[in-house]
Structure 1
């Protein structure tokens, strides 16, 4: 067929194409397969009428094929056309890959936005060597997909080399794979499952004894918004993940995520299904932990095993309200090695437990709290009005970020700003109510020195008018990069004395190939001139 030298097939944005390789109509040939010996890569993208890769009746063999990526091919259901009239299986959904394809070297497969896809593989209908060398499997936005590997494959499809597995936004998905596939995942390192209709991860399969699911290399797990997930496997089993270092579970309320080895705890829980993660086994090795308020309240709120959290360096807290975030601080004080703290999608009005008038709650010392913290991030916390109150002292904090916090008005109090003596990067992005970064607390003459601040980034702040409207003096001895993007009301940096000896330009647009810089004498003059230019430009439109 003249395909002997073909190494790559890439077809994109072709609205009318229905197939990539078509059969020779009207010709009768003696060949039993289409053989493409050197093909290494197939990319099919934005082909709304594509039904098949190959429409002939012969087998397709690509012994060198390493990667397949199919995206936005809404009509594609079969890679190689199968005439369902040839056998009596018309009631069954045809899989994407049948016994007609032979891909013995395939290492990476990506399937995105395939609206017609229900099954990838089915029962025993597979070429004996195909797909066993997969290392990367990514499946997203396949709404009709029912499972990854069906439970009737009888062990014919195992993933002994799989390292990264991602499945996202597959609402009809009820399970991922059977026992025989799950126990083969000895090389798996990265697992991400999110926004799926999963009820269980491993489906039932006839086994001789209770299986042990061992994941000796799995270091990274994300389970996000799996509202129907009830168990890992519905029968008696054990799970081991000795190398787990990075764990985040959010909005999985029907499954018991964390538990304890202590018999009294198990008896008190009264759960038939074991917890996914036993604290005593998993926590001592974790460096990154993502918690939501539901799981924190169930397990961590009353946990006295402070010694098991000693390695956690990064903590992400999601879906906390005022009541639940106030209870998290006893836990935070156990994290002596914590370097990064992120709040995501929280509805709390305060991040830190102070009462009105910025008076700390009894027994809480803000000057010794999280002294190793280097990064504080706040994302989509719309009820916050100020990011950091007075009395909070993060002397080692280097990076402070707030993004998409619609209720945020001021970022820092005067006292909080003065305490950030080691801050190097300050980023405020998409906070539509922010009027100034440092709150104006009166007409007193004060000085704030950001001794190590090197980067200041202000993005999409539609109400930002000042960096600070008070008559404070500011010194930025290390500031070299200021980025201002879509801040239409930003007309003056500050009213007091301002020192930025290393700053020589303000960057107006941040992009790989599209950057505009401006400078006029000093930072205040530059901000004022940028504002005047913008007003003049808008008046001429």
Structure 2
């Protein structure tokens, strides 16, 4: 028997379900203890009649195991069987990644004493386990080994489709995870998050400690945060938590049916809100969302933001609102009424002068039913100056895409798609006063503004039944690098393109061409 299995000594990866006989011999102690000392990755998949993924009598044989993946083991009651000798977990001291998926008899993953030996654990991923109530199970007081639980290398936690999960750890001990960077929580409906509290900290316990030299915070090292399927949330975190998220690079929020805003004003107020490292922001399937943040801050700046998606958020109207929500008190009724009036005016624009995204290159907006205008004509000159790709779909109240004062800022624009927006009449909205950017590109001989799109390679205008023109006033447009032009379903366009004759008013307003160029 031993002779048949000596080949396993050289294995670094093993899927146990492919060797059913080996599983029986291993579980019954019929193989040498050092047979799997070179094993680095173990998959336990679709094995029935087993109460633990690795029984205690073989734990010490996996001294170099780095990854354990347990899937579809319906009878599994615990990942590690350590009831008799908990020190056996030291056999997994090199374990870095633990993944559990579709094990519907599990109620927890670890106890505090189990974690003592998992000193290299970096990633915990638990998905599709119907009965799991907590990740770390609280031990009886007499069995507690310490008043502090330390997971020294943990940097990523993924919790998905755990309908009975209530807490990461329900005990009163301090939980320390110094390098934690990524938290992904999807479809965990029983996670307790109360309004006007630090929601994420309440999942892990109020005594979570993640040390920081710059700010005391539960999540000061967090770089990636994904929240999905929290139907009971009205907002994600309070304004006072923003300053502690200074390392956050990716924020993704989706499928939260009652979320009205992401950030809510609390007792801590500031004239400036900063996300200095935020690179990617994605807001998806949030039917009640009206604004990203409710704050009295004068500026919301994301100096590193590169990509922004706002998709299927039908109620969104403005990126920043200064209305007083929740339990906040105002200094006077008069101030509150004035604030509400100012906010109503600002609700006409998604981005106003308060919003600064100097590094944004990609913007995608879809199914924003209440959106009337994307940019205010007072938007800061140093904001949106690097934008390259703009995609706007299914915004039925939108009347235009850009204000004309942004014309001079779009020399880097490469892709522009506007589709299925019933009310869009023009791409660049005409302002009452000609903006400085247009004045600068006026041809002095003809006194007609010349709109030059130096880098635009892709222009798609589809299913825009109200579209009449690119820019309603007399102008000349140039497209030196245009590769693909797609115009479809724009039934109000009477003349597709016309050559500029040098005589203003050649075409009546009812017959203005979509494009007016020097040469067709």
Q: Distance in 2 between matches of 1:295 and 1:277?
A: 23
Q: Distance in 2 between matches of 1:313 and 1:385?
A: 23
Q: Is 2:286 aligned against 1:286?
A: no
1:63 CA displacement: 0.8
Q: Is 2:4 aligned against 1:34?
A: yes
Q: Distance in 1 between matches of 2:401 and 2:455?
A: 26
Larger RCO (CA under 8 A, 6+ residues apart) = 2
- 1:98/1:476 CA distance change after superposition, 3 Å: farther
Alignment partner, residue 394 of structure 1: 356
Question: What is the root-mean-square deviation in Å for CA atoms of aligned residues?
Answer: 5.2
- 1:323/1:240 CA distance change after superposition, 3 Å: same
- 1:468/1:145 CA distance change after superposition, 3 Å: farther
Q: Tell me the SS of whatever aligns to 1:448.
A: helix
Q: Tell me the SS of whatever aligns to 2:219.
A: helix
1:396 CA displacement: 0.7
Which of 495, 499, 517 is 2:478 aligned to? 499
Alignment partner, residue 181 of structure 1: 114
Runs of at least 5 residues in structure 2 that lack an aligned partner in the other structure: 211-215, 319-348, 430-449, 487-495, 499-520
Q: Distance in 1 between matches of 2:53 and 2:408?
A: 63
Alignment partner, residue 20 of structure 1: none
1:177 CA displacement: 3.2
Runs of at least 5 residues in structure 1 that lack an aligned partner in the other structure: 1-30, 38-61, 71-75, 84-94, 260-264, 355-360, 508-522, 526-541
1:107 CA displacement: 1.3
1:300 CA displacement: 4.3
1:236 CA displacement: 5.4
1:190 CA displacement: 2.6
- 1:466/1:400 CA distance change after superposition, 3 Å: farther
Which of 274, 282, 291 is 1:342 aligned to? 282
Q: Distance in 2 between matches of 1:307 and 1:286?
A: 12
1:216 CA displacement: 1.8
- 1:218/1:364 CA distance change after superposition, 3 Å: closer
Q: Is 2:454 aligned against 1:477?
A: yes
Pick which of 204-213 and 102-111 moved more. Answer: 204-213
TM-score, with structure 2 as normaliser:
0.60
- 1:81/1:188 CA distance change after superposition, 3 Å: closer
Structure 2 counterparts to residues 8-407 of structure 1, below 5 A: 31-37=1-7, 62-69=8-15, 79-80=20-21, 99-100=29-30, 102-110=35-43, 114=46, 119=51, 121-126=53-58, 128-130=60-62, 132-139=63-70, 145-152=76-83, 154-155=85-86, 156-157=88-89, 158-197=91-130, 198-203=132-137, 207=143, 209-210=145-146, 212-233=148-169, 237-249=173-185, 252=188, 254=190, 274-275=205-206, 277-278=208-209, 280-290=216-226, 300-301=237-238, 304=240, 308-318=244-254, 319=256, 321=258, 323-325=260-262, 327=264, 333-340=272-279, 341-352=281-292, 363=296, 365=298, 368-378=299-309, 381-384=312-315, 389=350, 391-392=352-353, 393-402=355-364, 405=367
1:467 CA displacement: 8.9
Contact kept, 8 Å, 1:288 with 1:312, in 2: the verdict is: yes
- 1:161/1:390 CA distance change after superposition, 3 Å: closer
Q: How many residues align?
A: 411
